[in-house]
Chains A and B, each alone.
Chain A
């Protein structure tokens, strides 16, 4: 039971950690200053949420591992993030599409988790949902602005959607780990699809026909090749100088 809850908390914390790290890679490189700042702020929120999720995971596990230990001292096969957040930044359109697809799921998931019978899970979810509401508004606005924009921006958003759409199916797979934490991601799918269809219609983008879904991130069975590269960079200092603090 507590093993399942530990795994479940890793899923939440690893999602926000990996996505937060990818967003922070934009710092100083954003297309305009306001977007650069917005991406960095979103990254900050997600890393803050990571500290709470992984901090709680460490407590539940009961082996004295801190949030930092879990972030910096695990290898790719121990991560439980979804494949969507592992996907590289690509161009700005791909980053925003990944963000939109995740944000919409994230808000639905956090809203549901805010009612979780585990008070600590509910408290973190309720707090995080407030921040993620802003992330959602922003990424949806950008999807519409860029999708229904110039021929160049439209084409880039369409190819980002085609590339990333096969990664959302994994977010809605309910398994024993979710059930142990009283969470049912499958129940979020219809609200997600309705929101997605409305935004994409406004953005003049076409949803792919196929519902084929890549899977294996949330269970750790098969991560994409991108995760290892990201972790190598993120964990470099702890790998080179174990136990270093400053």
Chain B
């Protein structure tokens, strides 16, 4: 096959959904750190989010499968833990999609700025931990709906 450009590969990876939050891609999540050709082998470097995140191996499988579907035959996936993953790597596009999906995006001040449903700023924290390690549970005091907050890490 003709070697696709790395820009093309980034574009393909941006179509691979996060298994837990399918509205955002693995590129939006900031876990794809590098894509490059080493001779005829495509090398993709990933940084896992949380140490115990069960999605890590699923993500690696989906990245591998997606690239093979696009005709990449020889590829290696490298896991890199330093520097550690941070929510600062989330793309703006990803943050906007999270909010539309009902998950408040991470905020360095330590909590969500507004309710993703009604935009109210009158919020309270229910629990530091939510349905996955990356989320906390919050509630809106105005519309009373509970919602997930993507924790800052």
Residues of A at the B interface (CB closer than 8 Å) are: 34-35, 37-38, 41-49, 51-52, 119, 122-124, 126-128, 130-131, 134, 137-138, 141
15 contacts between A and B (CB under 8 A): A38-B128, A44-B50, A45-B50, A45-B51, A45-B52, A46-B52, A47-B52, A48-B53, A126-B83, A130-B84, A130-B86, A131-B50, A131-B133, A131-B153, A134-B151
Give CA–CA (A177, B52) in the complex, Å: 27
Residue of B nearest to A49 (CB): B51
Identify whether the interface residues of A are mostly helix, strand, loop, or mixed.
helix
Task: Tell yes or no: B127 within 8 A of A by CB.
Answer: yes
Instruction: Enumerate B8-24 residues with CB–CB distance to A below 8 Å.
Output: none
Contacts of A47 in B (CB 8 A): 52
> Is there an interface contact between B127 and A34, defined as CB atoms closer than 8 Å?
yes
**Contacting residue for A38 out of B53, B82, B86, B129, CB 8 A:** B129
> Is there an interface contact between A119 and B82, defined as CB atoms closer than 8 Å?
yes
Give the number of residue pairs across the A-B interface with Cβ within 8 Å.
67
6 extra A-B contacts, CB within 8 A, seeds A127-B85, A134-B129, A137-B128: A38-B128, A41-B132, A44-B50, A44-B52, A128-B51, A131-B133
Task: Tell yes or no: B38 within 8 A of A by CB.
Answer: no
Identify whether the interface residues of B are mostly helix, strand, loop, or mixed.
loop
Contacts of B81 in A (CB 8 A): 52, 123-124, 127
Task: Tell yes or no: B130 within 8 A of A by CB.
Answer: yes
Contacts of B137 in A (CB 8 A): 34
Residue of B nearest to A32 (CB): B127
Contacts of B86 in A (CB 8 A): 130
- Known contacts: A41-B133, A44-B133, A119-B82. The answer to whether A127 contacts B51 by CB under 8 A is yes
Contacts of B132 in A (CB 8 A): 41
Give CA–CA (A122, B51) in the complex, Å: 15
Contacts of A137 in B (CB 8 A): 128
Task: Tell yes or no: B61 within 8 A of A by CB.
Answer: no
- Known contacts: A47-B52, A122-B82. The answer to whether A130 contacts B128 by CB under 8 A is no
> Is there an interface contact between B128 and A127, defined as CB atoms closer than 8 Å?
no
